[in-house]
Chain A
Amino acid sequence: MTTDTTRMRRTPVKSAVVLEREGRPKMVVYVFGAFVRASHWIRNALLIWLVLSGIYIANPFLARVIGSDTSSNFILAQVRGWHVAAGWLLLAFTLGRIYQFLFINREGKLGLGAELRMAPILFDLKAWRDQLKFYLLMSKEHPHLTYSNYGPLQYLVYTALYAALLIISVTGILLAAPYLSSGIAVWSAELLRPIEVAVGGLANVRMLHHVTMWFFILFTLVHIYMAVWNSMRTGNLLVEGIISGFAAKDMPGAREATPEDLDKPAAKAEKEG
């Protein structure tokens, strides 16, 4: 979508390409690793299946034909079974991602998570102002983020996304367990039982599961729009990036950012937090 105004040329920077778009230099860098891209699309497929099968489980709409193959194929039990299986896979990805968020530091080693350390962005009033101005078309410049990969709005929404993933997983386990006699769902449901009691019984667990589904549907619409909009407005190749792995970033030094910001982001984050 940006090719007509974009020229590519080799630069001395290793494994990076510099783009020029309307006179603004950008550096193409590898931002999304293979695992991140694969898990993004796998989870996308899982969520589509989970929403569709979930709508069927909530109100089974397929027509019945008494004495037909349906009675031997156990269609609802099949759909429910694959719904639960997809749910477990989604939970596995979710827990892996939360582990990375909490415990993988900048060097990719075990420690206080690099993304967790970006949390001060949530309380950064200037960042909020810049980001909202950008989205409300009051500024053409994409906010320059120094210590966080995410803008405050993004950080908030993604945190909410993972909270919703946990809520829908916990309620899903509590709903799946009564159908089974043993196994991981049964014993994990025993551990999670206090949550079921706290929300007031299985019926409320069921509704919480259903309402949380709508968060994902809404998130998907807004997420796709924002990604495409961002990609087009700033030419940062965000949409292409989640397929190819490469996205465009501002050239260091080409902006107002001081070298200090780029060298010691963690220290700056601590200072501001």
Chain B
Amino acid sequence: MTVAPRQHGLGANHDLDLRTQEHYEWLAAEADKNLDRLEAQDPVNDTTLDEVLKRRGISRRDFLKMSAVMTATLGLPPMFDLRVARAQEVATRIPVIWQELQSCSGNSMALIRNANPGTDELLLDLISLEYAEILMAPSGQAAEDVLAASIEKYDGAYIAVFEGSVPVGDDGNFLTIGPAGETGVEKVEHIAKHAAAVIAAGSCSAYGGIPAARPNPTTAMGVGDFLASRGISKPVVNLPACPVSSTNVVGTILEYAMFGRLPSLDAYGRPLWAYQDRIHDKCERRGHFDAGEFVEGWTDIEGLKEGLCLFKVGCKGPMAYNNCGVVRYNEGASWPIMSGHGCIGCSEPGFWDTLTPFEVPLAGRLYSTPFGTDANADTIGTAVLGAAAAGVAIHAGATAIKAATEKRYEGQEKE
């Protein structure tokens, strides 16, 4: 079995033993069918691809190059290049509602702050972004009217993108939105109920993220967990990272446009095409890890200059699944490990709590102790071992004394 059918398989009904070529031909036929269906629909957005390309000064040739890059990112072979291009053309048929929750809007920022126009930004122009607080002109009641109208108009057809966690504590009153003071809980329930699919963009939205870190004052939850707890069953795809790379958001929407479904997911609801491998597996410094060549500390200038492995200064790459090392940030300019700091594992469930401390390996994680100070597992283990050794010494001493008295007693008895 190759990797590709796993990434783009359609679940149990599909025979995964199909040979790769046959599988891709079948997958391409599926894509064509779905793209034809979308094309037959009326666009919900007046913009056309030609217009957008002209406005941004992108030639058709460059556009196809970008599509080819996106195809490779999705783990699809070159026969899909033109299909990905076509998916962008028909993306004007897909209504999207982007709802901010308990978030810093960093994911929106990452999406709109691209240095150069790429597939990511093109698609942002093309998809019918019906409601997005960060981007839209209306505010207050006018914005709420747009939302209500969009939900009604595209009932069951739109993609709901959530950014930020859902605070369920205090009846959801930690987060209220709009002139009517609707809580985040009500918003998510309402928008998700009428959506075709849900995308949780960013770690907060996927798993709770920083708002859910201990002691989690607002009882923040990820959107997927929240919907499950309220019994709302919708296909949810988690796109964690802080911020999520715009490529992963756009790729997921493109995959939806091409195949009419969400991508195959891993155990944590993340698309396999983006989150199949760890940061560690795609890291340019990996060779130094296996060779035992590490940056020994932040004063180890030589090691930092050599670009050695950052594991000992706290890199969590071995525990984090994401494709940062491949797609990188800011139009592929760089990513954290390239710039000299280890991965902090921001795309993992349980981030922040389970990935801290950031500057030492995970074995240095601190636990609270009854003595008022925090200590790591090795310190606690050594202390317990010391106590056990002391216990052993005391018991051995007591046994020696006891044995001596027993002997004397027996001796007296004999006399």
Chain A residues packing against B (C-beta within 8 Å): 58-60, 62, 64, 66, 70-77, 137, 140, 178, 193-194, 196-197, 200-204, 206-207, 210-211, 213-214, 217-218, 221-222, 225, 229, 233
- B354 partner residues in chain A, CB cutoff 8 A: 200-201, 203-204, 207
- B320 partner residues in chain A, CB cutoff 8 A: 202
Known: A73-B291, A207-B377, A217-B381. A60 touches B312 (CB 8 A): yes
Interface locus among B89-97, B106-114, B170-178, B383-391: B383-391
Known: A137-B402, A202-B348. A196 touches B361 (CB 8 A): no
Contacting pair A203 B348 (CB below 8 A): yes
B345 sits at the interface (CB 8 A): yes
The 9 closest A-B pairs by CB, nearest first: A214-B381, A77-B290, A75-B292, A58-B363, A203-B354, A76-B292, A64-B293, A203-B319, A202-B319
B63 sits at the interface (CB 8 A): no
Known: A64-B293, A64-B294, A201-B349. A218 touches B385 (CB 8 A): yes
A225 to B294, CA, bound (A): 39
A59 to B365, CA, bound (A): 13
| Closest residue of B by beta carbon distance from A54 | B363
Name which of B377, B389, B406 has the most chain A CB atoms within 10 A of its CB.
B377
A interface footprint on B269-299 (CB within 8 Å = 1, 0 otherwise) = 0000000011011000000011111101000
- B306 partner residues in chain A, CB cutoff 8 A: 66
Extra contacts besides A207-B362, A207-B365, A222-B388 (15): CB < 8 Å: A58-B363, A60-B294, A74-B290, A76-B290, A76-B291, A137-B402, A140-B406, A178-B318, A202-B318, A203-B319, A206-B319, A214-B377, A214-B385, A218-B381, A225-B395
Can you identify 10 A-B contacts, CB atoms within 8 angstroms?
A: A59-B363, A73-B291, A76-B289, A201-B349, A203-B355, A211-B381, A214-B381, A218-B384, A225-B395, A229-B395
| Closest residue of B by beta carbon distance from A213 | B381
| Closest residue of A by beta carbon distance from B407 | A22
Please, how many residues of chain B have a CB less than 8 angstroms from a CB on the other chain?
49
A43 to B262, CA, bound (A): 48
- A207 partner residues in chain B, CB cutoff 8 A: 354, 362-363, 365, 377
| Closest residue of A by beta carbon distance from B398 | A137
- B316 partner residues in chain A, CB cutoff 8 A: 203
* Chain B positions 141-192 with a Cβ under 8 Å from a chain A Cβ: none
* Chain B positions 288-340 with a Cβ under 8 Å from a chain A Cβ: 289-294, 296, 302-303, 306, 308, 311-312, 316, 318-321
- A222 partner residues in chain B, CB cutoff 8 A: 388, 392
Count of A-B contacts judged by CB separation below 8 Å:
118
A193 to B267, CA, bound (A): 7
Contacting pair A204 B278 (CB below 8 A): no
- A74 partner residues in chain B, CB cutoff 8 A: 290-292
Chain B residues packing against A (C-beta within 8 Å): 267-268, 277-278, 280-281, 289-294, 296, 302-303, 306, 308, 311-312, 316, 318-321, 345, 348-350, 354-355, 361-363, 365, 377, 380-381, 384-385, 388-389, 392, 395-396, 398-399, 402-403, 406
A206 to B312, CA, bound (A): 15
Among candidates A66, A73, A178, A193, residue contacting B281 with C-beta atoms closer than 8 Å: A178
A178 to B302, CA, bound (A): 30
B371 shortest CB reach to chain A, Å:
18
A75 to B287, CA, bound (A): 11
B321 shortest CB reach to chain A, Å:
8
Among candidates A201, A210, A225, residue contacting B348 with C-beta atoms closer than 8 Å: A201
- B392 partner residues in chain A, CB cutoff 8 A: 221-222, 225
| Closest residue of A by beta carbon distance from B278 | A178
Contacting pair A60 B381 (CB below 8 A): no
- B289 partner residues in chain A, CB cutoff 8 A: 76
Contacting pair B402 A210 (CB below 8 A): no
- A75 partner residues in chain B, CB cutoff 8 A: 291-292
- B290 partner residues in chain A, CB cutoff 8 A: 74, 76-77
Contacting pair B350 A201 (CB below 8 A): yes
Contacting pair B293 A201 (CB below 8 A): no
- B308 partner residues in chain A, CB cutoff 8 A: 64, 66
- A77 partner residues in chain B, CB cutoff 8 A: 290-291
Contacting pair A137 B365 (CB below 8 A): no
Contacting pair B362 A229 (CB below 8 A): no
A218 to B294, CA, bound (A): 31
- B321 partner residues in chain A, CB cutoff 8 A: 202
Contacting pair B363 A229 (CB below 8 A): no
Among candidates B281, B350, B396, residue contacting A204 with C-beta atoms closer than 8 Å: B350
A233 to B400, CA, bound (A): 10
- A204 partner residues in chain B, CB cutoff 8 A: 350, 354
Contacting pair B291 A71 (CB below 8 A): yes
A171 to B160, CA, bound (A): 36
A184 to B277, CA, bound (A): 18
Name which of A74, A76, A194, A217 has the most chain B CB atoms within 10 A of its CB.
A76
Known: A59-B363, A137-B398, A221-B392. A70 touches B350 (CB 8 A): no
Known: A64-B292, A64-B293, A64-B294. A211 touches B350 (CB 8 A): no
Among candidates A71, A194, A217, A221, residue contacting B293 with C-beta atoms closer than 8 Å: A71
Among candidates B362, B385, B406, residue contacting A203 with C-beta atoms closer than 8 Å: B362
Among candidates B280, B345, B388, B402, residue contacting A218 with C-beta atoms closer than 8 Å: B388
| Closest residue of A by beta carbon distance from B401 | A137
Known: A59-B312, A203-B350. A217 touches B294 (CB 8 A): no
